[in-house]
Chains A and B, each alone.
Chain A
Amino acid sequence: MKYAKFLLLGISFGILLIKAEVVSWFRIQEMFLFDSFHMYGVIGSAIVVGAISIQIIKKFNLKSIDGEPIVLKPKPLKKVGNLVGGICFGFGWALTGACPAPLFALTGAGYSIIVLAIIGATIGTFVYGLLQKHLPH
């Protein structure tokens, strides 16, 4: 039962991804071709709400549901890795038209062939795990 809350948050997120159309391959092409504001509006307003929430959490030292102080871990800075990895991710995002969360929402929505992209993404994660030591970061 302790996992039910994660299931509910996941369900909400999956529904949002579909209703926001951010799972659409066409919407992703529009974004990278700079033809439409839609994706920028979604991501931009999500960041604004996220940033305001974090400021509120910090200011009032809010606690989690278990009563623990909320931990905000900084993202490790590894300039080359962030940039080169980011570019690789961009290639994948523009090809499949989906980043990790939409891959799962689309599969759920019945686009079964996306399973191939999930397998690809798992292999990609696996291969990165093997090469990690040898790549510049």
Chain B
Amino acid sequence: MDFIFSPWPWYISGPLIGLMVPGMLYIGNKPFGVSSTLRSVCSMCVPINVDLYRKNDWKKDIWNLVFLAGILLGGAIAGNFLNSGNPLPLDEATVERLTSMGITDFNSLLPQEIFNWNELFTLRTFIITVIGGFFVGFGARYAGGCTSGHAIMGLSMFQLASLIAVVGFFIGGLLMSYFILPTILTL
């Protein structure tokens, strides 16, 4: 039973995540990807027609929205019932670096100092949640996919577009984590 509640090592969880690729191809004959669902959400919420989405597009993408609902439900199941409650075994150098930037609570999946409704009106929580989310949505569509669609599905198919996109993910992430985030955390 311990195994169910403790986090799974990468060599168990990684290959299982990889099975999403044949899984999605088998059950739906669709490429594995998640960020395209945001396009369906747009077409549902915003009644305009642009190249990227039309107002009735979401009706043929219901499977996509159902998949998304499943992810939410899976998160609820794992977060509430399959959780040991122990802090993650994080690397000491990262912990030290973040501690020096004022992060002290390493007990959950996210730093509670930032991801907290009480902090809603602080600049740093706004930037990290709303602006960060904006970049995720904007960048995923501009690049043509996210971690699922490009890094996992695209690289599994040896696509050059995906390799370029993943290099971009790491250029952006590295610049942010090393050079920009430290300043944002002081706001």
Which of A10, A31, A86, A119 interacts with B171 by CB under 8 Å? A86
Q: A124-B139, A128-B137 are in contact. Are A74 and B157 (CB under 8 A)?
A: yes
A91 near B135: Cβ-Cβ < 8 Å: yes
- Complex CA–CA separation, A113 to B93 (angstroms): 27
A89-B146, A100-B35, A124-B135 as given contacts; A49 in contact with B15, CB under 8 Å: yes
Min C-beta distance of A118 to chain B, whole Å? 6
Q: Which residue of A lies closest to B128 (CB)?
A: A95
B123 within 8 Å of A (CB atoms) = no
B82 pairs with A18, CB closer than 8 A: yes
Contacts between chains A and B (CB distance < 8 A), count: 508
**Interface size class, chain B:** 35 or more
For chain A, the bracket of interface size reads 35 or more
A95 near B131: Cβ-Cβ < 8 Å: yes
Residues of A within 8 Å of B79, CB to CB, are 18, 105, 108-110
- Nearest-Cβ distance from residue B129 to partner chain A, whole angstroms: 4
The CA of A10 and the CA of B65, in the complex, are separated in Å by: 10
Q: Which residues on A sit within 8 Å (CB–CB) of B14? A: 20, 41-46, 49
A-B contacts, 18 of them at CB < 8 A, read A11-B77, A13-B74, A15-B78, A53-B22, A75-B157, A78-B144, A83-B165, A89-B168, A95-B131, A99-B34, A99-B136, A122-B38, A124-B136, A124-B137, A125-B52, A128-B52, A128-B137, A129-B39
